[in-house]
Amino acid sequence: MKKQILIGAVALMSLAACSSTKTGPCPGSNITRKDASVYFAFNSDELTPVSKATLREVAAEMKQCPYRKAIVTGYTDSVGAPVYNFNLGDRRAASVKDFLLQEGIPSYQVQVKSMGEQDPAACNTTAMGRAENRRAVIQFE
């Protein structure tokens, strides 16, 4: 009887140890990324070499969690008309999605949307602030 209780306790401790070794939002992997951002030149939806490197890392992590979905939101600075900026934000998000698809991520894993000039990350009164606002943010569900 004591032997059976001991075996049961060891089994429970093993299961508990297995569940506690899972880290990050993807069980069984070491993925801890909560979100990622890439930045664009003024009035551009073209990815920079730095952005592509970031997106390659994101794609590699997404491949480890095929059920994990990403929402890509495109943003702009406040220069230009709001409708134009909304469309530019949409094109920025689409360029991120297209790159992820080229890296082998299935389209069902990536959703795009635009915020245009809404919800700035920084103040639009300085060149540095506007540069921070020209971005696409990838958030994981």
CA 14 – CA 3 distance, rounded (Å): 16
Alpha-carbon dihedral sign for residues 77, 78, 81, 82: positive
Q: Are residues 66 and 115 in the same domain?
A: yes
Q: Are residues 59 and 19 in the same domain?
A: no
Domain boundaries, position 124: 33-140
Distances from the Cα of 57 to the Cαs of 8, 21, 38, 63, 135, in angstroms? 42, 23, 12, 10, 17
Say if CB 74 and CB 93 are below 8 A apart: yes
pLDDT at 33: 58
Q: Are residues 59 and 90 in the same domain?
A: yes
Say if CB 22 and CB 28 are below 8 A apart: yes
Q: Are residues 98 and 47 in the same domain?
A: yes
Q: Are residues 61 and 116 in the same domain?
A: yes
User: Mind listing the pLDDT tens digit of every residue in the chain (141 residues)?
Assistant: 555 444 444 333 333 332 222 334 555 555 555 799 999 999 999 999 999 999 999 999 999 988 889 999 999 999 999 999 999 999 999 999 999 999 999 999 999 999 999 999 999 999 999 999 999 999 998
Q: Are residues 4 and 54 in the same domain?
A: no
Q: Are residues 23 and 41 in the same domain?
A: no
